[in-house]
Structure 1
Amino acid sequence: MKAVVCHRGELSVQEMPAPVPGRGQVLITVERCGICGSDLHARAHADQLADSAAAVGYHSAMRPADQVVLGHEIVGTVAGYGPGARRKWKLGTRVVGLPIVQDGASEAGVRMVGFDKDAIGGYAEQVVLQESFTFEVPERLDADIAAFTEPLSVALHAVRRGSVQKKQPAYVIGCGPIGLAVILILKAAGVRTVIASDYSARRRDLAIDCGADVVVDPALEDPLTAAPYHGPLASMPELLSFAFDAIGKVRRIPGLPWTQLLRAGNRLGVGPAGPVIFECVGVPGILDRLVTAAPLRTRIVVAGVCMEPDTFRPAIAVNKEIDMRFVFGYDPGEFAETLRMLAAGKIDPRPLHTGTVGLEQVAEAFDDLGSPDGHAKILVNPQA
């Protein structure tokens, strides 16, 4: 079969043996595979990615000298089964799946499809997935839409980790593919005010298409002041003044167990709370800028992958009680729920889909995606 092989940062189409499904696995003929920002990182920063993976116990990630087939946002049709599979679907059934396979030869027992030199990714005519982590695509959902299941699952996980309330403002800093996906999920979740920020006019237009309520060019305007925010969280003196007034009024009521009420309110999240900021840029310095500019009690969800060391000033975050959460991937339930949302029309990812290429054009597509003023998401069609 044909596949796009990454070796020392170069991408080339090569002939290679078709993968053979192992125990409990399913062979997929790939219809579409999205090009992800992590694929771009893997091509240019394989050593850094592998070092990060090793730090959390995964030691099989690709290195620049390895020959690896990238691609993990996969949709395709069932072409065969390995031993011990349940054979849930007829051959030709369209499916999507988590890019993880179980492998007894691996030290961790799993391999990450598209990032492991021994687990062929989706920039190929065929790929192997784990049957138990694979899901049938409803008939009414075409391959171009189903291919967004994986990246939108990442966004769903980020939004859930952000615990955004519908009336709580949400700021999306960076409108690349992950930022745009977060906007789609926020609006699908009913969040009323979504403020998006990006230097690229093209990406700002795409943010509007994805449902952002306010769109900002950060070269001209601070995104955190672009929409009115109500609450005593602009500064510590303002919050303390609010607290003095509130407690003073409560303690005037005879017999009121005000300390118990405060504890109950804290457990329920009642009281002044800042917005939720989704950091989807992943460059050094952005976290410090957000911590410095954010209102008190802001929650920052870090979805951007910064490949370099970075710093921020903890003392500022401490004084503001900033809540910082880092997100990675999704769970199988979120993956399945994203597929259901796509099938029900609750999410429309078509604004993100800005191009489709065959295997021969993958290297050019990687270069094109390096510019923020061109594409958002390019899909690869290995059958083209």
Structure 2
Amino acid sequence: MRAVVCQHAELGVQDLPEPVPARGQVRIQVTRCGICGSDLHARTGIDDWAEMAAEAGYDRFGRSDQPIVLGHEFCGEVAEHGPGAKGSLPTGTPVVALPLLRNAQGIDTTGLSVHAPGAYAEQMLVQESLMLPVPNGLDPDIAALTEPMAVAWHAVRRGDVGRKDVAIVIGCGPIGLGVILMLKAKGVRTVVASDYSPGRRALATACGADVVVDPAAQSPFAAAPSKGHVQGIPAVLELAVGTTEKLGRLPVGWWHAWRLVDTLGIEPKHPVIFECVGVPGVIDSIIGEAPLFSRVVVVGVCVGADQITPAMAINKEIDLRFVIGYTPLEFRDTLHMLADGKVDPRPLITGKVGLDGVSSAFTALGDPEAHAKILVDPRSSASEPEPVGR
């Protein structure tokens, strides 16, 4: 079979042996695979990821000197069941799967390990227990986005965003756009999006953002409706003193009323901010500009060292949360949100290539004005990204 192999940061199409499913595995014929920002970083920085993962106790990441087939956002069709597989989904069934594969030595991350080749290929292996049928005749272009949209759904759920909260999305690359889509699917009424790229801002609007700003011209925090957000230390001091004075007019001790507020979980109003850039300095800039008590959900992956000013976060009582991936349930629920039409990620898809065009697609994705998400169709002969109507 043909596959795109990455080794020493070089991408090239090679003929590889057809994968043979082991116990509990299924071989699928790949129909689509999305090119993820993680793939772009892995091409040149997978060694850094491997070392970081090893520090956390996981030593099965790929290395740059190994021949790795990237690709973890995929859909395909069942081609062969391995030994011990239930076989409940017959040959030809359209499927998606979580990108994890159980091998004899452990569980590998599909597309980021030499032991679990990814979907930049005509065929690949998936774990049957993590495989789901694609419902409602969902277009493979959309089904392939289950994985990145599940990342966005997990981030939104971890953000604990209410419908009346203000959500601010910093960075409108594919993950930021996915977060916007999922925020609107959850019913959040006010979503502010910020990106330097005019093209990305246009995509943010297409994905449903209510306010879209160029941070070079306006702060997204200034553009966001205040809705009672506490903007500075003098305001929080006034809030403490003023609230105590008001409660003191009640016929009971003010502390009884305050304790009731605590019991009910009532907090000062604050935005929920999603950092979707992953560049050093962004988290610190958000901490510096955000209103007090803001919740910051870090979705962008900054692999290198970064620096923040803890005292500023302390003074503002910033709630900082880091997220990665999704649960199997979130993955399943995302697939059905896509299939039921509750989320439409088509604005993200800006191009398609065949296996021979993956290298050129990596280059094209370096221009935010040209592309957001490029899909790989192993059956296509396109050697350059073919544009997709937005």
TM-score of the two chains, using structure 2 as the length reference? 0.95
For residues 50-61 of structure 1, what are the structure 2 equivalents within 5 Å?
Answer: 50-61=50-61
Q: Distance in 2 between matches of 1:162 and 1:284?
A: 21
CA distance change for structure 1 residues 260 and 17 in 2, over 3 Å: closer, same or farther? Answer: farther
Match of 1:161 in 2: 158
User: Is 1:224–1:293's contact at 8 Å kept on the other side of the alignment?
Assistant: yes
Match of 1:76 in 2: 76
The letter for the 2-side match of 1:69 is: V
Q: Distance in 1 between matches of 2:75 and 2:268?
A: 44
For residues 107-126 of structure 1, what are the structure 2 equivalents within 5 Å?
Answer: 109-126=106-123
Match of 1:172 in 2: 169
Deviates more, 1:262-271 or 1:368-377: 262-271
Match of 2:95 in 1: 95
Match of 2:323 in 1: 327
CA distance change for structure 1 residues 51 and 203 in 2, over 3 Å: closer, same or farther? Answer: same
Residues 51-108 of structure 1 show CA distances to partners (whole Å, capped at 9, x for unaligned) of 1211222111111111100000010000011111111111000000000011122xxx
Shift of 1:247: 1.8
Moved over 2 A (4+): 258-269
1:248 is matched with which residue: 245, 261, 267? 245
Q: Distance in 2 between matches of 1:262 and 1:72?
A: 50
Shift of 1:267: 4.8
Shift of 1:251: 2.5
Match of 1:308 in 2: 304
CA distance change for structure 1 residues 312 and 78 in 2, over 3 Å: closer, same or farther? Answer: same
User: Is 2:227–2:269's contact at 8 Å kept on the other side of the alignment?
Assistant: no
Residues 157-192 of structure 1 show CA distances to partners (whole Å, capped at 9, x for unaligned) of 000111111111111000000000000000000001
Partner of 1:365, secondary structure, is helix
Match of 1:20 in 2: 20
Unaligned runs of 5+ in 2: 381-390
User: Is 1:79–1:91's contact at 8 Å kept on the other side of the alignment?
Assistant: yes
The letter for the 2-side match of 1:96 is: V
The letter for the 1-side match of 2:22 is: G
User: Is residue 337 of structure 1 aligned with residue 329 of structure 2?
Assistant: no
Shift of 1:281: 0.6
Q: Distance in 1 between matches of 2:229 and 2:20?
A: 61
Q: Distance in 2 between matches of 1:11 and 1:375?
A: 20
Q: Distance in 1 between matches of 2:100 and 2:77?
A: 17
User: Is 1:369–1:376's contact at 8 Å kept on the other side of the alignment?
Assistant: yes
Partner of 1:111, secondary structure, is strand
Residues 244-264 of structure 1 show CA distances to partners (whole Å, capped at 9, x for unaligned) of 2222222222235x4354344
Shift of 1:370: 1.2
User: Is residue 137 of structure 1 aligned with residue 134 of structure 2?
Assistant: yes
Q: Distance in 2 between matches of 1:51 and 1:76?
A: 32
Match of 1:149 in 2: 146
Match of 1:219 in 2: 216
Partner of 2:39, secondary structure, is helix
Shift of 1:268: 3.9
Partner of 2:124, secondary structure, is strand
User: Is residue 271 of structure 1 aligned with residue 267 of structure 2?
Assistant: yes
CA distance change for structure 1 residues 224 and 20 in 2, over 3 Å: closer, same or farther? Answer: same
User: Is 1:19–1:120's contact at 8 Å kept on the other side of the alignment?
Assistant: no
RMSD: 1.2
Partner of 2:27, secondary structure, is strand
Q: Distance in 1 between matches of 2:256 and 2:3?
A: 64
Partner of 2:132, secondary structure, is strand
Partner of 1:311, secondary structure, is coil
Unaligned runs of 5+ in 1: none
The letter for the 2-side match of 1:352 is: L
Partner of 2:22, secondary structure, is coil
Match of 1:262 in 2: 258
Partner of 1:58, secondary structure, is coil
1:365 is matched with which residue: 341, 356, 361? 361
Q: Distance in 1 between matches of 2:232 and 2:136?
A: 53
Partner of 2:341, secondary structure, is coil
Q: Distance in 1 between matches of 2:53 and 2:99?
A: 16
User: Is 1:77–1:92's contact at 8 Å kept on the other side of the alignment?
Assistant: yes
Match of 1:297 in 2: 293
Residues 190-222 of structure 1 show CA distances to partners (whole Å, capped at 9, x for unaligned) of 001111011110000000000000110111111
Match of 2:180 in 1: 183
User: Is 1:232–1:239's contact at 8 Å kept on the other side of the alignment?
Assistant: no
Q: Distance in 1 between matches of 2:338 and 2:219?
A: 33
Q: Distance in 1 between matches of 2:360 and 2:229?
A: 50
User: Is 1:285–1:310's contact at 8 Å kept on the other side of the alignment?
Assistant: yes
TM-score of the two chains, using structure 1 as the length reference? 0.97
Partner of 1:45, secondary structure, is helix
